[in-house]
Amino acid sequence: MSNAPARNTKVMNRFDLTSRLVAKLKNEEAVVGGIGNTNFDLWAAGHRPQNFYMLGSMGLAFPIALGVALAQPNRRVFALEGDGSLLMQLGCLSTIATLKPKNLTMVVLDNGIYQITGSQPTPAAGHTDLVAIALASGLSNSSWAADEEDFERLIEQSMSAEAPTLIGVRIDDKPGTGTTRRDPVQIRERFMHGLGVRQPL
Amino acid sequence: MAAATEQDPTWHGILQQTLKRNEVRLVPYVPDRVLTTLIKNLHADPYFTTFPTAREEEAVGIVSGAWMAGTRGAVLMQTSGFATLANVLASLVVPSQIPLIMIVSERGTLGEFNYGQAMVCRTMRPVLDSLAMEHHTITRLDELEFIADRSIKQAVTTQAPVALILSPLLTGGKTFDK
């Protein structure tokens, strides 16, 4: 229902793409997973201490990842965000374009629906191009992934990019594969251990 | 600037030095007229990374991420900006125990000329109280450093957020002729 006819991009699967991303992580890269299915699939792809799972505050995956990227410029930071979430915080694209952290890779998972609340279409479904919005916000290194291989290529390319990268992927309407353990203090503390900020007691 | 600050302490000079002394170096903001000089001086000071965001909750997300990655931050805003934050405070900052430092220029009282601002102001302390968040309204220059310094240290050591509300009694506020 969400497929913009102008886009020649394959409809992929969130869990599959997230698994492909996680399989590439060899250097304790940070990954911030947006609210709902986005972090459920990040969890299901295999928990890592460098993962941060959002349990609320819809739309803040990119800002949280920006904060991590600014604080640790030598660490690669990935952020996974749904289309509905990003629509809540489009202004952050301009902020990120201003600060230009080259260690930040953003992935927008676009199915055109609020899957988790009953698959209602977003106001953007079918006609709003989120990658075009990113480009117009000043994030010149933004593109749609044509298929899974293209997604993997764009992810690898971003790891040595000189500017922040945004990758749009069209995905199907499947729900998340797992369910994150909803323990916000433990999630935050484990993330800080994973980033080397703290040692366990 | 430093000489002027020593001779004639200002609220913004004290805040700038207190942030620095507590290693709070990341300061995103949504501006307010009252905060103009502080924002300008933070931009001029290479110690700070300071920049505008499109919304206050975006700034809260940024400093939350930075805190988890080892950098301290504070968010500057005005009262109406605080009014947009209930969701992120209740769903990220408080449950995750993030020592968010908020510096809020208070509008809506002591000479407010915009009825909407006055109403928004009345929502601020009930929201803070409903989440049992520490907050202080600073009215006097001679108390500013003590309150700000101790509050930042308490936020960090107890891993709990704090709001420092800058009263018009401290800053002069914004008046109709401005």
A57, closest residue in chain B (CA to CA): B88
Give the pLDDT band (50/70/90) at residue B6.
low
> Could you report how far apart the first and last alpha carbons of chain B are, in Å?
24
Q: Is residue A201 part of a domain?
A: no
DSSP state of A171: B
Q: Would you call A70 and B66 a contact, using CB atoms and an 8 Å cutoff?
A: yes
Q: Which residue has the tokens 């208070």?
A: B106
The answer to whether the CB atoms of B53 and A91 lie below 8 A apart is yes
Interface with chain A: mutation pick from B50, B57, B58, B84, highest number of A CBs within 10 Å = B58
B69/A98 touch (CB, cutoff 8 Å), yes or no:
no
**Would A200 be classed as within a structural domain?**
no
Cβ-Cβ contacts under 8 Å, A99 against chain B: 51
pLDDT at A8: 77
Predicted confidence band at B4 (pLDDT cuts at 50, 70, 90)?
Answer: low
- pLDDT tens digits, residue range A87-126? 999 999 999 999 999 999 999 999 999 999 999 999 999 9
Q: Do A67 and B96 touch (CB under 8 A)?
A: no
A115 domain-assigned? yes
* Residue A15 to residue A178: CA distance in whole angstroms: 9
Number of independent structural domains in chain A: 1
Q: Does A199 touch chain B (CB under 8 A)?
A: no
Look up residue B144 and give its two tokens.
């500013």
Contact B141, B11 (CB under 8 A): yes
Residue B52 CA to residue B18 CA, distance in Å, equals 21
* A43, amino acid identity: W
Whole-angstrom Cα distance, residue B124 to residue B107? 11
- The two beta strands, A120-121 and A113-114, are antiparallel
Shortest CA gap B119–chain A (Å): 25
CB contact under 8 A, B63 and A67: yes
Asked if the structure places residue A95 within a domain, the reply is yes
Please report the pLDDT score of residue A4 as a whole number: 45
Among chain B residues, CA nearest to A98: B51
Q: Which domain holds residue A57?
A: 4-194
Other CB atoms within a 10 A radius of the CB of residue B53 amount to 25
Q: Give domain status of residue A199, yes or no.
A: no
In a domain, A186, yes or no: yes
Please answer whether residues B52 and B29 qualify as being in contact, where contact means their C-beta atoms are separated by less than 8 angstroms: yes
CATH number of the domain that A161 lies in?
Answer: 3.40.50.970
What stretches of A10-164 show up as alpha helix (H) in DSSP? 14-23, 37-44, 61-71, 83-87, 91-99, 130-136, 148-158
pLDDT at A86: 98
Would you write out chain A's pLDDT as a tens digit for each of its 201 residues?
344 444 679 999 999 999 999 999 999 999 999 999 999 999 999 999 999 999 999 999 999 999 999 999 999 999 999 999 999 999 999 999 999 999 999 999 999 999 999 999 999 999 999 999 999 999 999 999 999 999 999 999 999 999 999 999 999 999 999 999 999 999 999 999 999 999 988
Note the pLDDT tens digit of each residue in B115-173.
Answer: 999 999 999 999 999 999 999 999 999 999 999 999 999 999 999 999 999 999 999 99
Assess if residue A32 is contained within a domain.
Answer: yes
Residue B130 is inside which H or E element, if any?
helix B115-130
Residues A178 and A44: beta-carbon distance below 8 Å: yes
Q: What is the reported pLDDT for A1? A: 39
pTM listed for this prediction? 0.96
pLDDT tens digits, B51-78: 999 999 999 999 999 999 999 999 999 9
Does the complex come out with an ipTM higher than 0.85? yes
Tokens of A20: 């492909």
Contact A95 B26 (CB under 8 A): no
Residues 2 to 61 of B: which have CB under 8 A from any A CB?
26, 28, 49, 51-55, 57-61
Taking the CA of residue B142 and the nearest CA in chain A, the distance in Å comes to 33
> With an 8 Å Cβ cutoff, is A91 touching chain B?
yes
Q: Give me the pLDDT at residue A5, please.
A: 46
Assess whether pLDDT exceeds 80 at residue B5: no
